[in-house]
């Protein structure tokens, strides 16, 4: 039972971590390698607002979310727009921005394990004999709600449909008057917002550390590659595959092997099905 419960929690955590990355790639074909840095930035901004300015928690959360969304949008507007369409350059540039943010935070004093956020809900409950704290259940609950909201946004709203149109056929979308750059800014802001939401839900479980940025990026990339780049359904499925594989590894093989699960999943996917479980990049498979 503990494997089932903590498997679901771990999978939901991974899904939350990867959602923003999938969203940005799905709608604007932009691999945002600053995703992990934006995750840590959100936590740190919230911590600063709470501890240095004494702002109420809920307000600090919303300001941090807005700030990180703005940073994401600005990243595209001022930097990535110049290299739009050049995938390798986009990866290098976004990764460089991520490095600058993370190492800048470290340089600025984000060191050690004392930067923490309080859980939204304290305490724990027993589910079928397994002890689970409320914050972890919140990760599952809010993760589900967030995925639902983003799905509704992309499929039911005007802006969401425009983003989807861009992802499906940029030229056709342009002929219908959809501004591709504005849409890319919107998708980056939205993806960054998702990273920030994930951070503010997950980080109260631990500490705000620079290394989390690299960890989140690796996990997001693993989930997206296994699920199929840009596929929401694939990413969700991959989060569950990797999430449960990690928990089973910890339970039966040893905790120190869990770190290789995601990397093995990437390698296996690239060998067996390069476009991922639900990937639409048929050309990749045709080449194999």
Partner 1 sequence: MKKNALLLLVAAAFLVGMSMTGLAAPAQAAEPIVLGAPLSTAFLYGWDAERAMALAVEEINAAGGVKVGKTKRPLKLEVIDTRDLEPGVPVSDALMAVEKLILEKKADFIVGGPVRSEAALAAMALLSKHKKISILTTGALTPKYHAVVGKNPDKFKYLFRISGEAKWMVLGELVPCLMDIGKQFKLDKLYIMVQDVAHARAGGGILQKVMSKKGWKVLADPVIFPTGTTDFSMALLDAKKKGAQVIIIWMDMPESAILLKQWYDMKVPALPFGTIIAAAEQPGFWKATEGKGEFCLANVVNAGNAPSNATPWTMKFVNAYKKKYGLEPEGYGTSSSYMSVYVLKDAIERAGSLDPDKVVAALKKTDLMGVYGRIRFDPKTNQIIPSLDPKEGAVGTVFQWQAGKRVVVFPPKIATGKIMLPPWMKTGK
Beta bridge partners of 127: 130
Residue closer to partner 1, measured from CB, 148 or 206:
206
Residue closer to partner 1, measured from CB, 142 or 183:
142
Shortest Cβ 134–partner 1 spacing (Å): 8
Residue with tokens 């089932």: 4
Shortest Cβ 223–partner 1 spacing (Å): 16
Contact 235, 18 (CB under 8 A): yes
Shortest Cβ 262–partner 1 spacing (Å): 12
Residue closer to partner 1, measured from CB, 24 or 202:
202
Which spans of this chain sit near partner 1 (rule: CB under 8 A)?
Answer: 2-3, 6, 9-10, 13, 106, 111-116, 118, 123-124, 130-131, 133, 135-136, 205-207, 209-212, 214-215, 247, 250-251, 254-256, 258-259
Shortest Cβ 32–partner 1 spacing (Å): 21
Residue 237: how many CB atoms within 10 A of its CB?
Answer: 20
Residue closer to partner 1, measured from CB, 13 or 187:
13
3-state secondary structure the chain: CHHHHHHHHHHHHHHHHHHHHHHHHHHHCCCCCCHHHHHHHHHHHHHHHHHCCCCCHHHHHHHHHHHHHHHHHHHHHHCHHHHCCCHHHHHHHHHHHHHHHHHHHHHCCCCCCCCCCCCCCCCEEEECCEEEEHHHHHHHHHHHHHHHHHHHHHHHCHHHHHHHHHHHCHHHHHHCCCCHHHHHHHHHHHHHHHHHHHHHHHHHHCCCCCHHHHHHHHHHHHHHHHHCCCCHHHHHHHHHHHHHHHHHHHHHCCHHHHHHHHHHHHHHHHHHCCCCCCCCCHHHHHHC
Residue closer to partner 1, measured from CB, 152 or 253:
253
Residue closer to partner 1, measured from CB, 59 or 251:
251
Shortest Cβ 275–partner 1 spacing (Å): 28
Shortest Cβ 124–partner 1 spacing (Å): 5
Shortest Cβ 113–partner 1 spacing (Å): 3
CA angle 178/73/204 to nearest 5° reads: 130
Residue closer to partner 1, measured from CB, 80 or 137:
137
Shortest Cβ 143–partner 1 spacing (Å): 15
Strands 130-133, 124-127: pairing is antiparallel
Residue closer to partner 1, measured from CB, 89 or 124:
124
């Amino acid at each position: 039972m503990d494997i089932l419960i903590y498997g679901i929690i771990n999978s939901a955590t991974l899904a939350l971590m990867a959602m923003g990355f999938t969203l940005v790639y799905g709608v604007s074909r932009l691999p945002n390698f600053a995703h992990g840095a934006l995750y840590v930035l959100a936590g740190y901004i919230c911590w600063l607002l709470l501890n240095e300015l004494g702002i109420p928690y809920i307000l600090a959360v919303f300001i941090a979310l807005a700030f990180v969304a703005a940073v994401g949008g600005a990243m595209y507007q001022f930097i990535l727009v110049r290299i739009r369409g050049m995938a390798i350059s986009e990866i290098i540039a976004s990764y460089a921005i991520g490095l600058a943010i993370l190492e800048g935070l470290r340089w600025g004093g984000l060191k050690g394990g004392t930067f923490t956020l309080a859980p939204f809900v304290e305490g724990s409950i027993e589910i079928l004999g397994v002890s689970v704290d409320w914050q972890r259940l919140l990760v599952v609950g809010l993760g589900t709600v967030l995925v639902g909201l983003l799905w509704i946004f992309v499929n039911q709203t005007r802006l969401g449909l425009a983003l989807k149109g861009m992802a499906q056929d940029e030229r056709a979308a342009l002929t219908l008057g959809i501004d591709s750059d504005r849409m890319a800014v919107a998708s980056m802001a939205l993806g960054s917002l998702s990273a920030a939401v994930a951070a503010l839900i997950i980080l109260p479980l631990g500490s705000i550390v620079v290394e989390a940025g690299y960890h989140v990026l690796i996990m997001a990339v693993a989930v997206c590659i296994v699920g199929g780049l840009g596929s929401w359904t694939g990413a969700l499925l991959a989060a569950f595959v990797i999430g449960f594989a990690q928990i089973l590894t910890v339970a039966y093989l040893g905790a120190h092997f869990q770190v290789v699960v995601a990397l093995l999943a990437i390698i296996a996917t690239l060998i067996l099905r390069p476009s991922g479980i639900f990937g639409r990049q048929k050309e990749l498979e045709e080449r194999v």
